[in-house]
Amino acid sequence: MEAHAAEVNHRIARISAHLHPSNFKEGGDVLLNKANCRAKGGAPGFKVAILGAAGGIGQPLALLMKINPLVSVLHLYDVVNTPGVTADVSHMDTGAVVRGFLGQPQLDNALTGMDLVIIPAGVPRKPGMTRDDLFKINAGIVRTLCEGIARACPNAIVNLISNPVNSTVAIAAEVFKKAGTYDPKRLLGVTTLDVVRANTFVAEVLGVDPREVDVPVVGGHAGVTILPLLSQVKPPSSFTAEEAEYLTNRIQNGGTEVVEAKAGAGSATLSMAYAAAKFANSCLHGLKGEAGVVECAFVDSQVTELPFFATKVRLGRSGAEEIHQLGPLNEYERIGLEKAKSELAESIKKGVDFIKK
Ligand SMILES: NC(=O)C1=CN([C@@H]2O[C@H](COP(=O)(O)OP(=O)(O)OC[C@H]3O[C@@H](n4cnc5c(N)ncnc54)[C@H](O)[C@@H]3O)[C@@H](O)[C@H]2O)C=CC1
Ligand SMILES: O=C([O-])CC(=O)C(=O)O
């Protein structure tokens, strides 16, 4: 009788271990563990890493990348809390294999073999702060992470989210130049949230579905450097001077609107994770070689006299393969462009100097 009970307990232990791989006992009476499960991985698809994966943006972004059918391997890296986020996301029954990496000693392993690296690591704003106030802390974080990319996956496409984007993209470029790995097509500052907001706010004014609206947003990603081109909205639409003023201000201050509403608890995370996942998905479709994939992004550019500028870019196998020109601007937009350029010039210089000096 006792022997029978022992056998039953043993079977139950084996079954529950199968259901809960995290309960495996090494060398114990449980026979199955992750290492001898039949799955071998290696499904076709792209390998994507998120750096800052345990944060406000990182967690929902990890979820959204886990459900992207183009992703076969998802690496989650942070300096805190990645084991929990990884265990949680890894239980989703979608294709991507999820692995977690914790702390700087594991950075290179997190990055090795990656096709796309998304960086939402760094501190967010609190009410009263500008994005530039984040430079002090985030500049060093971005430098460290980009040094890792230069060592471990120099050919990966990089989607840089950490603020101030107008400076951190310049920091990343200088790090890559120093390492001899800089490919301007592969470094993209993520400004998709500006476009997502612009589409939403313009759709509200026009009384249409935001999915039908396409607003090009050029310049950069802070205050007056965010320049929506309302004269180029699709479908073609006209706006009164008051509407144009209202929309431009709301789009330029969308980030601050969220920071103030969150009242000290951070900045946009959910809409940003959505925007980052949308942009990353376009990068993956470009990597696949699909034609006609176009997004706005802050990239190395000759569209203006500035070394970096956000415009529409065509994404392909090697990243931003074609940078679109600005197109015709109206008087209001031309004035906005001059304001944007003078602030952008300073922010870019600050990023370059951080590495050079
Ligand atoms: N480009 C854009 O449109 C937007 C950019 N952002 C920016 O994204 C950044 C992250 O925002 P949240 O996720 O809300 O902040 P958060 O504080 O919730 O998360 C940041 C994560 O980065 C991690 N981290 C810090 N140092 C790190 C390092 N050296 N290596 C790896 N991970 C590190 C933290 O542990 C944390 O988990 C901020 O700089 C924010 O301003 C936010 C919204 C929009
Ligand atoms: O406003 C912030 O600090 C975060 C951000 O970049 C945005 O929401 O656009």
Q: What is the CATH classification number for the domain harbouring 291?
A: 3.90.110.10
ipTM surpasses cut 0.90: yes
Domain boundary among 189, 223, 239: 189
Query: What per-residue confidence (pLDDT) applies to 17?
Result: 36
Q: Is 58 annotated as a binding residue?
A: yes
- Decide which of 10 and 103 is more confident: 103
How far, in Å, CA of 23 to CA of 20, rounded? 6
Q: Which residue among the candidates 10, 18, 91, 221 is catalytic per the annotation?
A: 221
Domain boundary among 138, 158, 189: 189
How far, in Å, CA of 162 to CA of 118, rounded? 10
Which residues, 6+ apart, have CB-to-CB distance to 125 below 8 Å? Answer: 131, 133, 134, 163, 255, 259, 266, 267
* 137 in a structural domain: yes
Token pair of 314 as six digits: 């065509």
Query: Do 64 and 175 sit in the same domain of this protein?
Result: yes
Query: Do 131 and 177 sit in the same domain of this protein?
Result: yes
Helix axes 270-287, 58-66, angle to 10 degrees: 40
Tell me whether residue 238 is exposed, middle or buried, using C-beta atoms within 10 angstroms of its C-beta: 0 to 12, 13 to 18, 19 or more.
Answer: exposed
Helix axes 331-356, 135-152, angle to 10 degrees: 70
Active site (annotated) includes residue 221: yes
Q: How many CA atoms lie within 13 A of 190 on its CB side?
A: 28
Please check the confidence at residue 320 and state whether its pLDDT lies above 50: yes
User: Taking the model in full, what pTM does it have?
Assistant: 0.92
Query: Do 201 and 124 sit in the same domain of this protein?
Result: no
Cis peptide before 69 (omega within 30 of 0): no
Query: Do 152 and 265 sit in the same domain of this protein?
Result: no
Q: Is the CB of 255 under 6 A from ligand 2?
A: yes
Please check the confidence at residue 304 and state whether its pLDDT lies above 50: yes
Query: What per-residue confidence (pLDDT) applies to 31?
Result: 67
Substitution site in 267, 271, 308 for ligand 1 pocket (most atoms within 8 Å of beta carbon): 267
- Strand-pair partners of 116: 48, 157
* 12 in a structural domain: no
Query: Do 30 and 71 sit in the same domain of this protein?
Result: yes
How far, in Å, CA of 126 to CA of 259, rounded? 6
Query: Do 279 and 173 sit in the same domain of this protein?
Result: no
**Ligand lying closest to the C-alpha of residue 272:** 1
Phi, psi of 119 (to 5 degrees): -120, 95
* 154 in a structural domain: yes
Band of residue 38 on the pLDDT scale cut at 50, 70, 90: confident
* 6 in a structural domain: no
Pairing of strands 293-300, 308-316: antiparallel
Query: What per-residue confidence (pLDDT) applies to 44?
Result: 84
Query: What per-residue confidence (pLDDT) applies to 25?
Result: 35
Please check the confidence at residue 3 and state whether its pLDDT lies above 60: no
* 9 in a structural domain: no
DSSP state of 242: H
Q: Is the CB of 131 under 6 A from ligand 2?
A: yes
Share above pLDDT 90 across residues of the chain, in percent, rounded to a whole number:
87
Give me ligand 1 centre to Cα 93, in Å. Answer: 27
pLDDT in tens, 120-173: 999 999 999 999 999 999 999 999 999 999 999 999 999 999 999 999 999 999
Please check the confidence at residue 69 and state whether its pLDDT lies above 90: yes
* 300 in a structural domain: yes
Which CATH number characterizes residue 52's domain?
Answer: 3.40.50.720
Query: What per-residue confidence (pLDDT) applies to 30?
Result: 52
DSSP state of 339: H
Query: What per-residue confidence (pLDDT) applies to 127?
Result: 98
DSSP state of 153: -
What number is the average pLDDT over the span 314-323? 98
Band of residue 34 on the pLDDT scale cut at 50, 70, 90: confident
Query: Do 226 and 142 sit in the same domain of this protein?
Result: no
Band of residue 42 on the pLDDT scale cut at 50, 70, 90: low
* 14 in a structural domain: no
- Average pLDDT over the chain, rounded to an integer: 92
* 280 in a structural domain: yes
Token pair of 324 as six digits: 């679109």
Query: Do 214 and 232 sit in the same domain of this protein?
Result: yes
Among 6-20, 91-105, 315-329, 341-355, where is mean pLDDT lowest? 6-20
**Number of domains the chain contains:** 2
Measured by CA distance, the residue closest to atom 7 of ligand 2 is: 255
pLDDT in tens, 211-239: 999 999 999 999 999 999 999 999 999 99
- Decide which of 85 and 32 is more confident: 85
Give me ligand 2 centre to Cα 267, in Å. Answer: 6
Q: Which of 200, 45, 58 is nearest to 122 (CA)?
A: 58
Query: What per-residue confidence (pLDDT) applies to 12?
Result: 40
Query: Do 118 and 75 sit in the same domain of this protein?
Result: yes
How far, in Å, CA of 169 to CA of 188, rounded? 7
Query: What per-residue confidence (pLDDT) applies to 19?
Result: 35
Query: Do 126 and 161 sit in the same domain of this protein?
Result: yes
Query: What per-residue confidence (pLDDT) applies to 21?
Result: 36
Give me ligand 2 centre to Cα 194, in Å. Answer: 9
Q: Which of 148, 157, 155 is nearest to 175 (CA)?
A: 148
Residue with token string 């010039």? 345
Domain boundary among 189, 205, 224: 189
What number is the average pLDDT over the span 257-272? 98
Query: Do 120 and 178 sit in the same domain of this protein?
Result: yes
How far, in Å, CA of 46 to CA of 113, rounded? 10
Residue 173's domain comprises 21-189
pLDDT in tens, 178-221: 999 999 999 999 999 999 999 999 999 999 999 999 999 999 99
Query: Do 182 and 196 sit in the same domain of this protein?
Result: no
- 255-261 contacts at long range (C-beta below 8 A, 24 or more positions apart): 255/125, 255/131, 255/193, 259/124, 259/125, 259/126, 259/127, 259/129, 260/127
Q: Which of 120, 123, 80 is nearest to 101 (CA)?
A: 80
